[in-house]
Amino acid sequence: MIKAALIDMDGVLYNSMKYHTLAWQRLMQEQGVPCSQEEFYLYEGMTGRATINLLFEKHLGRSATCEECDRLYGMKSEYFREYGKIETIPGTDRVMQRLRESGLQRVLVTGSAQGSLLDRIDSDYPGVFLPGMRVTARDVTHGKPHPEPYLAGARKARVSPQECIVIENAPLGVQSGHAAGCTTIAVCTGPVPQRAMYEAGADYVFADMDSLATMLPSILENKP
């Protein structure tokens, strides 16, 4: 029986990934790290610290210091904020409505620590997430693709991971939910192809949120 939905933020609640990837590319190029905008879609779900370390080790041959991680992630967050108001994803409100109608608990599970989005969720999605029902980058030691974020999400809902569905848009996030033992739903809201979601372990893959909203009742019925 599915009792809770564990819901990613960027690319699921908000059409924000384009601006995250632009902010990361600008930041890293300023550090002398060669990178493309597209590669950051593949790092989506990792914490900021993990992303910085990955690129530093790959291109500079060393890890970043804690001071560098804090400073650079702060700069990246500021660049992101400069892009202005980020839109919600079409159809996500319908998915959230269906989850509420089905009586599922909802827990936010994000690798982000971006205050400019986290602070907006309660006004953009009123009543979806009850107080305390969120896991962010600040709550975990290991970000996605490690299972820790989704295991922490299941604990918040006081249910087992097998009683949870995960709603994701990124391969590393799908890997995290799958490794945690959840039923994992991927929605391709960005440029990453459906095939990559299945390869990451997704149980269901949808082209957009409206398609998921339509099919969600039958997915939940098939998980008695």
Q: What are the residues binding Ca ion (CB under 5 A)? A: 8, 10-11, 169-170
- The pairing of beta strand 164-168 with beta strand 183-187: parallel
10 vs 163, beta carbon nearer Ca ion? 10
Least Å distance, CB 8 to Ca ion, is 4
11 vs 171, beta carbon nearer Ca ion? 11
- Both tokens of 49, joined, read 């610290």
Least Å distance, CB 12 to Ca ion, is 6
Least Å distance, CB 62 to Ca ion, is 28
11 vs 143, beta carbon nearer Ca ion? 11
Least Å distance, CB 43 to Ca ion, is 11
Q: What pairs with residue 14 in β-bridges?
A: 10, 88
3-class secondary structure per residue, 1-69: CCCEEEECCECCCECCHHHHHHHHHHHHHHCCCCCCCCHHHHHECECHHHHHHHHHHHHCCCCCCHHHH
11 vs 91, beta carbon nearer Ca ion? 11
